[in-house]
A and B are shown apart, each in its own frame.
Chain A
Amino acid sequence: MKKLIAILLVALMAMSLVACGNNGGEAGEATYAIVCKDASNPYMLRMISGFEAACEALGVKSVTKSPESATVDGQITIVNELVAQGVKGIAIAANDAAALEATIQAATAQGIVVVTLDSDTKGSQMFVNQAGVEQVAQVLVDSVYDMAGGEGEFAILSASSTATNQNAWIAAMEEIIAADEKYANLTWVETVYGDDEPQKSTDEAQSLMTKYPNLKVICCPTTVGVLACAQAVQNAGSSIKVAGLGLPSEMKDYVGDDKVCPYMYLWNPIDVGNCAAYMIDALAEGKVGEIGTSFEAKNGTSYEVMAGDPAAKQIIVGPPFAFTGENIAEWAEVY
């Protein structure tokens, strides 16, 4: 045992020598990092490309990291690693509305700017909101109302049950439906979660079809879910219509007046990622003022600072955009 300890000590000394020799290795370049929900989500990949482009324009290095599966546990590990690397800013699409708070606070304490994009969480300095929650909920409710012909059963197939953005939209949809007599004849049968995994989303869509024979519409406020659902409905030859938020390039075969998905909505994820990098820059330079004021980011766009929930502040990138049979082919080329 003594020999073991001796060897250990000698080696430790060797290690500290190496460590001393390495002190000059600090990279001078500023780095912004983007942390996604999981590694394989095509929507996230578009967001990353926008983020990278903006970082290049700003003259900073960019780093992309994603957990192996869409867990907040994996994101905590990643943020800790980024903090340890001394990045200047982190943009994160959170997998949970609360669990990252302590980790983000620790990052902020070390002078790192942390913004959320796509999906918000407590502790974030600013949420780069792809579209206002009410706007998204309103277009989703109206699609369901329209596709169901004003009455009948519909279900929701969402992403993960802890995803902040989807949960906020679903909650807002409930309010809109409850508030207006117009929607009284719609029956919301169930909300299921496909966890943004294609297979699980397909399984959930199939079980909805078997469980509710009178189902008229499935609404999927997530790009992975809407694709899986459209495929499942088409393969089953069902008359159910699919509404929701989808990527044009993935959904081009399913969108159109005579197809499973007459029309769908989304915003440009490239813009969202792009905007997040400019927000980190604006926050780092202290350009962002109090709630109610506006400022101009380096991309030349003016943003209004609004109160965020749960983030401290938020800005909205733009309104949701409708993809129909007429414009889908054109947008499929873009993203």
Chain B
Amino acid sequence: MATKSGRVISHKSEFSLAKLFLRWEALLILIFLAVNVMNICLSPYYLNAYNLFTNINNFMNTAIIALPMAFILLLGDIDLSVGGNVCLSATMLGIVYNATDNIWLGIAACLATATLCGLLNGVILTKFSELAPMIVTLATNIIYRGLSERILGNGSTGGMLNVSWFSKIFYGRLFNLIPYPLIVFAVLAVVFGLVMHKTAFGRRMFAIGSNKKAAAYAGVKVDKIRLLVFTLTGFMCGLSAVIYCSKLGSVKSDVADGFDLEAISMCVLGGISTAGGKGTMVGAVIAVFTVGLLRYGLGLINLEGQTIRIIIGALLICVVMFPTIRDAVKKLFAKKK
């Protein structure tokens, strides 16, 4: 049977194709492959490795945020402030770099700001645990972006690309093929996956997400873990902001608009329940590429950005309806036995 965590526990390792297809990851892989087959059929240009990597690189900013977002959702929390956080920390990078002419100080300021913003979310949510994370982070999102608007006004801060190695963070490629952000994402995805599924910390996160009170009674330090995860999310926003600055070289207060919902929808598509306690990192990673490549494929046939949004939204709603259908199918199988 499938536990709430989505893992299949079975005493007999019998091969059952039906059961296999009932697993979320199997469905995701099918969707992922369907998207790729569709892209290949739609455009003869899709399978050019160099260009494929260029376009994969485009969604690495959001992808990096989807990783900690998976943790947040696993805890049964939500963080809507990541877009504002990326914006504010990118702003700090630009401001500090222009004030000191030292890119390292800029990066330090960026990461520090981002981590502090995450910490602030965590402190508010653990000190006042009756508050809904959705409301709190919605508010801090407005505050973070508002601060950036206050600092930059209608203007922008830039010049970061004058430091030539800094632009390599985004535009550099290993073996002249694989972009650095993708490597960063791959390494982080493995680390986050291991933490989630192979450590005591990960098991505690699952416990909190399944039942916060029960976890607390069982001796799990709920507040400490939530605080840590929110702070970590903040730090990852800083990382994303550094990559963003390296990509654009200038920051306006509208950068990273909509990052929050994009990261969340990637996680949800990946089978991570917004109710907490359910999901796998593999699922989230496949979902990141499914959404990203779908967007790229539709872009290749020159669909308008607005139309692409509608299609991705429709995909998301179809996929989240899947468990209902799956349960119905399961019942049917159970009856037959």
- Chain A residues within CB distance 8 Å of chain B: 3-4, 7-8, 11-12, 14-15, 18-19, 22-23, 25-27, 39, 63, 65-69, 71-74, 76-78, 80-81, 83-86, 96, 98-99, 101-102, 106, 160-162, 192-193, 195
Contact = CB atoms under 8 A, between A and B. Distances in A.
B112 to A, nearest CB: 24
A85 B300 contact: yes
Interface string B137-177: 00000000000000000111010010000010011000000
A63 B301 CA distance: 10
Interface in B34-64: 36-37, 40-41, 43-48, 51-52, 54-55, 58
Given A15-B33, A77-B58, A85-B43, A192 B247 contact: no
Contacts of A3: 15, 20
Nearest to B154: A193
Nearest to A63: B302
A318 to B, nearest CB: 31
A102 B300 contact: no
Contacts, number: 119
Interface in B286-310: 296, 299-300, 302, 304-306, 309
Given A7-B26, A39-B304, A77-B299, A98 B37 contact: no
Nearest to A8: B29
A39 B305 contact: yes
Contact of A15 (B40, B43, B302): B40
A84 B54 contact: yes
B101 interface: no
Contacts of A8: 29, 33
Nearest to A25: B44
A310 B25 CA distance: 49
B249 interface: yes
B58 A98 contact: no
B249 A99 contact: yes
B250 interface: yes
20 contacts: A4-B20, A15-B37, A19-B47, A22-B41, A39-B305, A66-B305, A72-B248, A73-B247, A77-B58, A80-B51, A81-B300, A84-B51, A85-B43, A85-B45, A98-B158, A98-B249, A99-B161, A101-B161, A162-B250, A195-B154
Given A4-B25, A85-B300, A98-B161, A68 B36 contact: no
A74 B154 CA distance: 19
Given A11-B33, A80-B55, A23 B44 contact: yes
Contacts of A193: 154-155
Given A39-B306, A80-B54, A84-B48, A161 B252 contact: yes
Interface of B: 15, 20, 23, 25-26, 29-30, 33, 36-37, 40-41, 43-48, 51-52, 54-55, 58, 154-156, 158, 161, 167, 170-171, 247-250, 252, 254-255, 257, 296, 299-300, 302, 304-306, 309
Given A4-B25, A4-B29, A8-B29, A99 B248 contact: yes
A12 B32 CA distance: 11
A83 B54 contact: yes
Q: Which 6 A-B pairs have the closest CB atoms?
A: A84-B51, A25-B44, A193-B154, A68-B305, A81-B299, A99-B248
A73 B171 CA distance: 14
A186 B39 CA distance: 59
A78 B154 contact: no
Given A4-B26, A77-B299, A99-B248, A22 B44 contact: yes
Given A14-B33, A26-B44, A76-B58, 8 more contacts: A11-B29, A15-B40, A22-B41, A68-B309, A73-B255, A81-B55, A96-B250, A99-B161
A4 B252 CA distance: 44
B267 to A, nearest CB: 20
A193 B29 CA distance: 46
Contacts of A69: 254, 257
Given A22-B41, A68-B305, A81 B161 contact: no
A161 B29 contact: no
Nearest to B23: A4
Contacts of A26: 44
Contacts of B156: 161-162
B153 to A, nearest CB: 8
B308 to A, nearest CB: 9
A86 B45 contact: yes
A160 B26 contact: no
Contact of B41 (A18, A63, A81): A18
Contacts of B309: 68
Contacts of B43: 85
Contacts of B33: 8, 11-12, 14-15
A96 B45 contact: no
Contacts of B55: 77, 80-81, 84
Nearest to A193: B154
Contacts of B167: 102
A160 B252 contact: yes
A276 B328 CA distance: 59
Nearest to A81: B299
B82 to A, nearest CB: 16
Contacts of A76: 58, 247-248
Contacts of B255: 71, 73
A11 to B, nearest CB: 5
Contacts of B299: 77-78, 81
Contacts of A80: 51, 54-55, 58
B29 A7 contact: yes
